[in-house]
Amino acid sequence: MNILIGQSGGPTAAINASLLGVYLEGRKHKEITHIYGAYNGIEGFIKRNLVLLDGKFDEPQQADLLRQTPSTVLGSCRYKLPPVKREESIYRQIFEILSEYEIGAFFYIGGNDSMDTIDKLSAYGSLIDSPVRFIGVPKTIDNDLMFTDHTPGFGSAAKYVNATVREIIRDSSVYALNSITIIEIMGRNAGWLTASLSLLHKNGEDAPHLIYLPEKPFSVSAFLRDVRAELEKHKTVIIAVSEGIKLDFEDHTDDLRHQVLDEFGHVGQLAGAGKALERVLRREIGCKVRAIELNVMQRCSSHVASLTDIREAETVGREAVVSALSGLTGKMISIRRLSDRPYAVAYEAIELHGVAGLEKKFPAEWINDEGNGVLDAAHDYFEPLIQGELPVKWENGLPMQYVL
């Protein structure tokens, strides 16, 4: 049989390592003749936008280069398959192309929507008695997939945000004047990545002094109280805020409510929360305020990738192939943590149904009572995930990257 790999959803520093894992494991098995990649995930596949990957990453130098290349070499998509009942023709078309290319197993590397795709395709496959196996390979910097201890891509993003915020702390504290720096972190409706910044406390930093996550309703008047209290204690106040914070207007005066609504545009928007809070602070407190959006840098900074993350990403790819060859379908490879110290994990093929459509939130028991900080109890969870550095190859002063 031939196999097919697709990448989908937001990029990460580790998603190409998963592709490499599928590829290298696939090349080991005689029953696999060709390895295809789909450009732009399932969306590109429907348009027959395929590439033959045979031989592309066999040499160790090629594999190393792919491992250290962020984002998705095959491109990506944000495409959600419609329900079979509504548009069965798309499913028929997909299975026609699968059989045309003699695909026996499809590996889809992605987050929530990608697991939904795999779930729907495997369900349709069983409906029509198709022999094609469908396996989900998890990835997302948001770390919000259910039934896995963490997702590949998260550890590298956490390492990047911690390293970068530490640099921001040094930069922000140079002047002898009061200042506030707000750092906005990605993660959609889950606060994992923002919360990982509590690791800086374990590493001798006071900052971030305040951490706000989407898991707790965000009150601007409480925020102003918090910031004023921190300014009493520190010349420079560093605040980490998740892009997905949900505004809570319960305890606001009408005046503040209007101001905040103006700043945020609409309640619960993704991205821009930091800038909106910057304007509120400037008006209400008046000292030097700067908002920094780490934006896409936090998901594609391979030069500071976590070796643990890259290795695990590759292993989930390999495990996916092993599972498919053992006859499994409709599964996702999940990482189960066996111990924090020494850090140890096991890989399992779990039922996909139930993963898609749910979001794993940052645990309430690791958030302080005030809803403006993360407890030290979370450190054991985060710390192993950012360990180790990928030995990156550089050329002309820049990290080398693979372009397909």
Q: Which of 3, 5, 10, 291 binds ligand F6P (CB under 6 A)?
A: 10
- Rounded CA gap, 173 and 56, in Å? 48
Distance set, CA 288 to CA 47, 178, 182, 257, 370 (Å): 52, 7, 11, 23, 25
Q: Which is nearer to ligand F6P, 180 or 183 (CB)?
A: 183
Active site residue 251: no
Segment interacting with ligand F6P (CB under 6 A) among 171-179, 184-192, 321-329, 334-342: 184-192
Cβ 196 to ligand F6P shortest distance, Å: 13
By CB under 6 A, residue 116 contacts ligand F6P: no
From 142, 144, 226, 309, the catalytic residue: 142
- Site size for ligand F6P (CB under 6 A): 13
Question: Of the ranges 31-39, 98-106, 138-146, 214-222, which one interacts with ligand F6P (CB under 6 A)?
Answer: 138-146
Question: Using CB under 6 A, which residues numbered 261 to 290 contact ligand F6P?
Answer: 270
Please select the residue that binds ligand F6P; options are 15, 22, 158, 186, rule is CB under 6 A.
186
Residue 75, sorted as left (phi over 0), alpha (psi -120 to 50) or beta, turns out to be: left
- Name the one range near ligand F6P by CB under 6 A: 137-145, 163-171, 223-231, 246-254: 137-145
Confirm or reject binding of residue 143 to ligand F6P (CB under 6 A).
no
| Phi-psi label, residue 105: left if phi above 0, alpha if psi -120 to 50, beta otherwise | beta
| Region binding ligand F6P by CB under 6 A among candidate stretches 40-48, 136-144, 339-347, 354-362 | 136-144
Could you give the string, one character per residue 216-255, with x where binding to ligand F6P holds by CB under 6 A and - elsewhere?
---------------------------x------------
Query: What is the Cα–Cα distance from 209 to 165, expressed in whole angstroms?
Result: 12
CB of 143 to ligand F6P, least distance (A): 10
Q: How far is the CB of 399 from ligand F6P (least distance, A)?
A: 21
The reply to whether 78 sits near ligand F6P by the rule CB under 6 A is yes
Cis peptide before 342 (omega within 30 of 0): yes
User: Closest approach of Cβ 177 to ligand F6P, in Å?
Assistant: 33
Q: Which is nearer to ligand F6P, 9 or 44 (CB)?
A: 9
Tokens, residue 352: 């996909």
- Shortest Cβ contact with ligand F6P: which residue? 10
Burial class (CB in 10 A: 0-12, 13-18, 19+), 129: exposed
Task: Give the amino acid at 296.
Answer: V
For residue 140, state whether it binds ligand F6P (rule: CB under 6 A): yes
Instruction: Tell me the window of 180-188, 207-215, 323-331, 338-346 that interacts with ligand F6P (CB under 6 A).
Output: 180-188
One-letter amino acid for residue 23 of the chain:
Y
Q: How far is the CB of 10 from ligand F6P (least distance, A)?
A: 3
Cα(368)–Cα(366) distance, integer angstroms: 7
Question: Which residues does 357 contact at the CB level (< 8 Å), separation at least 6?
Answer: 112, 116
Stated length of the chain: 404
Q: Return the number of the residue (237 or 247) whose C-beta is nearest ligand F6P.
A: 247
Binding mask 335-374 for ligand F6P (x = CB under 6 A): ----------------------------------------
Determine, following the binding rule CB under 6 A, whether residue 299 of this chain makes contact with ligand F6P.
yes
Minimum CB separation from ligand F6P for residue 208, in Å?
18
Shortest distance in whole angstroms from residue 214 CB to ligand F6P: 11
Catalytically active residues, by annotation: 142
Q: Where on the chain is the footprint of ligand F6P (CB under 6 A)?
A: 9-10, 78, 111, 140-142, 186-188, 243, 270, 299
